[in-house]
Structure 1
Amino acid sequence: MSYVRGDWALRFRAAASTGRTLASGLDAGRLPCRFLPCAGEATGVHSSPGAYAATRSRLPRSAGGQGTRMEHAPVGRCGSGTCCGATNRRSLHRHACGIAIMRLFDEFAHRYDLHTPPVHYQHDHDFVLETLRSWSMPCHVLDVGCGTGAFLEKALRNGMHVRGVDASPGMVREAEKRLGRDVVRVQRMQELEEQSTYHAIVSLSWTINYCESYTELVDVLHRFYQALRPGGGVVLQIAHAKHAPVEVMEDREPGPGGQPEDVLFLYGFRRPPNQLDELEAQYVYACKSLGEMMHEKHLLHVADARAVASCAQKAGFKDIQLFDSFQRNAFSGALSPFLVARKSGGGGET
């Protein structure tokens, strides 16, 4: 059974029936297979020479998502634009480029729509499109951490002018298949330098939470602010660690040949001790018919929705609102709330 990912409460209740934590399930499954991490990985040894993670930034999500530490995934040679050449398997945050692409978003980007099909985001995308339309301006929109381009495709169908950036080359390749090469490009959110270009910037699936610190987050949000035209706005989907459930979430999807429940996607969350605004997310992808399996941990450093809202204010935004969900109820108990904010100035110019 699969769920629309915007409906977190429904998925939490269903996942509670598993009766075990993600950590215990993974410990039981530590086999020296091609894709699942093995015990030797802690010392930089892995049974799969083909498994890798280039040391650039991604996104979450998506996430969309963006750069973070990778504590339990094998890496290959640095693939960043600065090409630091590092191959450290244990602490990518020490590399000269300082960032890492998660395997889920790059090596397995071509499987992303298998375990997370666009229908999962139906309500969330509708929320964003309705918000953009309510601003009553010609809409040139940038999707930061665009992933495989699912939202951009919907925005394009709604008559909007779209562009997308993603730090993962794998995700950009998938988005190009949907949208063409002129619509999306490889770029980190930390490197955005456009000025007064867009009416709206959208960043979904926790992309923004992959900033390494709140200082970096303020800088990224200021870059968003600078890239917006007067009166423009942002819609961000963010993680709030305090509301993370203890249950394991599970999605089962059809396989590449339509095989029922051929694809399994497990995900669970943990708050690191004494780090109340950080969130450790664990993901397991498996496809039975393809014989594929992988497990990965993502550490989100800025996972407090109210702190993110404060950073948005510091970056210059006004009219900042937090919503629990696509239903637009005020933020109170959601794991994945929305933040909506505007830039000062008139909003009617083309």
Structure 2
Amino acid sequence: MPAPPTPSRALAVQRLLTEHCSAPVTVDGWQPLEPWTVARFQVEGAGAARTAIAKWVRPGTGRTARRESWRPAAECAALRFLAEDAETRLAPRVIAFDPAAGLLVLEDLAPRVALDTLLARDGAAAHAERLTAFARALGRLGAVTAGRADAYRSRRATLGPVDREAADTQPFADHRQEGARWATVLGVPPGARVSAELTRADAVLSEPGPFLALSNGDAEANNLLVHASGPADAPLIDFEAARFTHALADAVCLYLPGPGWLSVGDPVASGLAGRHRHALAQGVPQAEDDRLFGFGLAAACLSWALIRLRRFPALDARARGDESRSQLVATLEAAARTASNHSSLPHLAGWADRIAATLRSRWPDADQDFTDPVRFPPYRRRG
């Protein structure tokens, strides 16, 4: 039986690698990793036989297509930027890049798997060491890139035009404002003191000062690769939305439920908060200042909670018992709790709690104790 034809994308990768290596290269075993525009393949030639990963631009039209066209360049720039530090292995290495085609070839980090896959399968308790590696990796990313924004932007500029939105330190600011508008619709408008604290939070997130650091733009457990057993090294992946922003924006996932979770447990009691903060302080000594750290973290967490609130109309239309409602309530309350624990932004935290209470009243199915470690264990995936 003849072998199936080689996909056109694989042929494009083969041409790119042949040009890159200045020697014949063969691409085989093309394996799409759906639903992403990613594939794993085998490469032979140029004195090596190995597997590698290819990524390319998502299809789209109009503004969406223009925005997507910048993603491969952003990821390439970020990964090459990180590779400048030979001792830091926080992410995969770039093998080759074709800016015109938006085609990126990366080293394959298999047999590692995404951390969230293990958490969903086994729960957090079974992977405490890997969660610690996750917290440490996020802190190290901030530590090794803080103060280097100009160097990154210079490297990024060599790969073509930069999407202004993608370079923004606050890419979701409009979403946060939309969330605040829905709070008003719910009958919980921000008063003068809340508005004043919103302005202060916005200022520190827009101008992070010494906390300005590189983020992959999606700091969640699905973007950390770990060994299912054995070494606990943990490279980060998916830098398509890479940007310099407030380093503590990447810490939000340790304190608040992300899109896939109802609960993240207590990061202080588990030690994750301390591991992250210690790693970050190696390059951002201001992270040891309780006031600066607490304010930045509270601002980042409450900002994310408001961003999630923009989903209110969609969730309100869903059937009773939809767990996305519970996730939104849990997110608002976790953000308020984090701010209170750090004695920061008390009026903003109180507002988040009032919004959550209003949603509990509106959605009786979401009126539950999300801090209950038995009913809602850490990293319980939504149905």
TM-score (norm 2): 0.28
Query: 1 or 2, which has the higher helix percentage?
Result: 2
With a CA cutoff of 8 Å and minimum separation of 6, indicate the structure with the bigger relative contact order. 1
Query: 1 or 2, which has the higher strand percentage?
Result: 1
TM-score (norm 1): 0.30
